[in-house]
Amino acid sequence: MPRSSTVAKEVLAYCTSCKMDLSHIVVAMKGDKIVKAQCKTCNKEHAYKAPKGAKEPAKKKSKASKAEQTSSSIEAEWEKLMTSHKDAPVKGYTMKGKFLLGDKLKHPSFGEGIVSRLIYPNKIEVVFREDVKIMIYGGQ
Ligand SMILES: [Zn+2]
């Protein structure tokens, strides 16, 4: 049975549930093509998808890939802002403080952040290393 030797084989495939390339067990073949695979991480069976890393040649890596890596792009944005405002003094965050666009502040839980947006009348959007937060402040 040459065909059954490929079913139950381990392959790298894209998991539609985990949203990444992971080891899968081949569940069903059609000819020499894998049609169904089971993810070893979430144990879900789904239609076989070629691993993203291998396939998808140099397409436009613009918005789609950015959205997939929200957390790392926040960090990249944070690093960019911290670098461009490296000479700005760091203000301690208090709810009564006054903040302007581009101000650097230090929050007891979130660490250092940069004011990226003023939201009228009394909120600021702050980019921290791991997250973007809306904070209340003293207002104009
Ligand atoms: Zn999975």
Confirm whether pTM is higher than 0.85: no
The answer to whether position 2 is within a domain reads no
Query: Residues 28, 83: one domain?
Result: no
Give the distance (Å) from ligand 1 centre to CA of residue 125.
35
The answer to whether position 64 is within a domain reads no
The answer to whether position 119 is within a domain reads yes
Query: Residues 79, 129: one domain?
Result: yes
Structurally, the chain folds into a number of domains equal to: 2
d(CA 18, CA 22): 8
Give the distance (Å) from ligand 1 centre to CA of residue 15.
5
> pLDDT per residue over 14-43, tens digit each?
999 999 999 999 999 999 999 999 999 999
State yes or no: pLDDT of 55 exceeds 80. Answer: no
Q: Find the domain containing 98 and state its range.
A: 71-136
Query: Residues 50, 87: one domain?
Result: no
The answer to whether position 65 is within a domain reads no
Give the distance (Å) from ligand 1 centre to CA of residue 12.
11
Give the distance (Å) from ligand 1 centre to CA of residue 46.
9
Query: Residues 78, 130: one domain?
Result: yes
Integer CA distances (angstroms), 6 to 32, 41, 133, in order: 9, 20, 50
Give the distance (Å) from ligand 1 centre to CA of residue 90.
43
The answer to whether position 15 is within a domain reads yes
Query: Residues 94, 117: one domain?
Result: yes
The answer to whether position 129 is within a domain reads yes
Mean pLDDT of the chain: 86
Give the distance (Å) from ligand 1 centre to CA of residue 130.
25
Give the distance (Å) from ligand 1 centre to CA of residue 71.
20
The answer to whether position 66 is within a domain reads no
Query: Residues 77, 109: one domain?
Result: yes
β 90-92/104-107 pair status:
parallel
The answer to whether position 118 is within a domain reads yes
What percentage of the chain has pLDDT greater than the value 70?
82
